[in-house]
Chains A and B, each alone.
Chain A
Amino acid sequence: MIDRNFSPVAGTEAPLSGTRRSLTFPSLSFGPINKFFEWFGDLGIFFWRVVHAAITPPFEFRELFRQLDEIGSMSLPLVALAGAATGVVLSLEARYSLTRFGAKSLLPAAIVFSVIHETGPIITGLVVSGRVGAGIGAELASMKVTEQIDAIEASAVSPCRLLAAPRILACILVLPLLTLAADFCGLFMGWVAQALVEPLSFHQFISAGFKGADFNDFLPPTFKTMMFGLIIGLIACFQGMRTQGGAAGVGRAATSSVVLSSLFVILADVVLVKLILIFFP
């Protein structure tokens, strides 16, 4: 039922259940505001159900491993490529700027700190939200419009447990690993770009770059991507499972999954950067 087990029928354009309808404001002018808060309310309820499904048996390990492979290994080439390109661009731009201000010796440190603090995590978050967010959103939306999710519910199996929890958990676990890959590729290609202009060994580059750095520079930015994974998985599953309206609905779900997860990843990054600066100065 809608209120007991997140029902795909409770979509954006979906009819509201009797209980919820009585809580809405009567005026038409409040419609968009109502929908805005309703979306967050539904997302909160969905999140709670996923948490409950994730921490209570039976656990869907098989589906979790399948998703780890699907989300992790399939995203690796794209993330690595994006990280590498970022490293090259950072190296070229930073070289130009630092040379102008007579701080060329800081170039390795500038690249290392930029990549591991911010560029690697956010690039990974955005690339995964594009690739995985669209994939999950479209897959679940397609299952929804063909009544496969209803069939799962009718078989007395929770779609949150079977479909949403493994995907969200996989996103959470995979994002830091992908971030490490993006960081490595970024640093490596940053060194290559530098070494092509001015000979420098990788060892020297890394030694100079990490001079003065500690775990607080490395661990919090990497692990903050777990939050990105939660956001991407949660929003993609939520948008997919509340889809309505055939093929057009599937397209809308895929698009909204990418747009919303990217937006929330960026917003979360702002908050997390501030928190990291406060707690890991």
Chain B
Amino acid sequence: MATIDQVLIQAALKPEEATKGSGVPAIAVDDLHKSFGSQKVLNGISVAVNRGETLAVLGRSGTGKSVLLRLIIGLEEPDSGSILIHGRDIAGLNLDQLCEIRMKMGFLFQHAALYDSLTVEENVGFPLVHHKKEMSKSERADRVKQLLAEVGMEGHLKKMPSDISGGMQKRVGLARALALEPDILLLDEPTAGLDPISSGEINDLVLKLQAEHHTASIVVTHDLHSAKTIADRLALLNEGDVVVQGSFEELQKSDIAFVQEFLGHS
């Protein structure tokens, strides 16, 4: 069995390979603090997600759930604490190193954040154009079609984002997030603003992709039903820290008043 030092040395050389089955979490967040001006958003949060596992992060609005995802992908810088991706601390990395790590992550934004001047096809092909230069045009087109087929959007290649519904935009966003075959998937409110049928479709899609790609995923959501459906574990945030984490049944058994109040209102 490898010692922790061996694992970390391997992780530094080829992180995602070294950490497969080594026990090193794909994402490890430890004692993370983040403030915006005088407003403290994250207050010493610690979570870890293994490969193939899905963690749902729940909590009231403004408790820093989305900020946590932005910190993990490096869109924000923490005040203190550490974020380890496949055992590699992202603090102090230069832009090129950070980009290497970002290429192993897929991010679905709350409002999909599709590029409004590009078609659906170009949106999904965007990461491939910039990072898979060895791919020919036809290979890229095939890959885009395959990704869009995975999310049930193969018939909308030439449409502009403004011409498709919110649920469809989320699907396209998901296809774009999967374009580089990431090890880690970060989903920010994947079902927010969708009707129950579309939410159910997105949940099924996430579960299907999860089964096919074995990614480590963090799903930020307000939707308890969605969290219960797609996540292996749930973490409930309050005042910038995790109040409780575990399976849905474990959360139900918790005697913490806030947990019961949250579950009762959901």
Chain B residues close to A by CB (< 8 Å): 35-37, 39, 70, 73-77, 79-80, 93-95, 98-100, 102-103, 105, 107, 109-111, 113-116, 126-127, 130-131, 133, 176
Contacts and interface: CB of A to CB of B under 8 A. Distances in A.
B107 to A, nearest CB: 4
B94 A150 contact: no
B166 to A, nearest CB: 13
Contacts of B114: 148, 151
Contact of B130 (A1, A143, A146, A155): A155
Nearest to A2: B77
Contact of A148 (B73, B94, B115): B115
Interface string A142-177: 010011101111111110000000000000000000
A7 B77 CA distance: 10
Interface string A1-44: 11111010100000111100000000000000000000000000
A2 B127 contact: no
Interface of A: 1-5, 7, 9, 15-18, 58, 143, 146-148, 150-158
Nearest to A49: B95
B107 A154 contact: yes
A229 to B, nearest CB: 23
Contacts of A157: 99, 126-127, 130
B95 A158 contact: yes
Contacts of A155: 102, 126-127, 130-131, 176
B73 to A, nearest CB: 5
Given A17-B77, A147-B111, A155-B130, 17 more contacts: A1-B75, A1-B98, A2-B76, A15-B35, A15-B36, A15-B39, A146-B111, A150-B113, A151-B109, A151-B114, A153-B75, A154-B75, A154-B105, A155-B176, A156-B98, A157-B126, A158-B95
Contact of B76 (A1, A151, A156): A1
A156 B131 contact: yes
Contacts, number: 83
Contacts of B102: 153-156
Nearest to B37: A15
A62 B98 CA distance: 25
A158 B113 CA distance: 16
B115 A151 contact: yes
Contacts of B75: 1, 7, 9, 150, 153-154
Contacts of B176: 151, 155
B246 to A, nearest CB: 29
Nearest to B97: A4
Contacts of B73: 154
A143 B36 CA distance: 22
Contacts of A147: 109-111, 113
Contacts of A152: 115
Given A2-B76, A7-B75, A9-B76, A156 B99 contact: yes
A85 B98 CA distance: 52
B77 A150 contact: no
Nearest to B107: A154
Given A18-B79, A150-B113, A151-B113, A4 B130 contact: no
Nearest to B131: A156
- A-B complex: 9 closest residue pairs judged by Cβ atoms: A15-B36, A147-B113, A156-B102, A156-B99, A151-B113, A154-B107, A1-B77, A15-B37, A156-B103
B98 A16 contact: no
Instruction: Tell which of A143, A152, A154 has the most Cβ of chain B within 10 Å.
Output: A154
Given A5-B95, A15-B36, A146 B77 contact: no
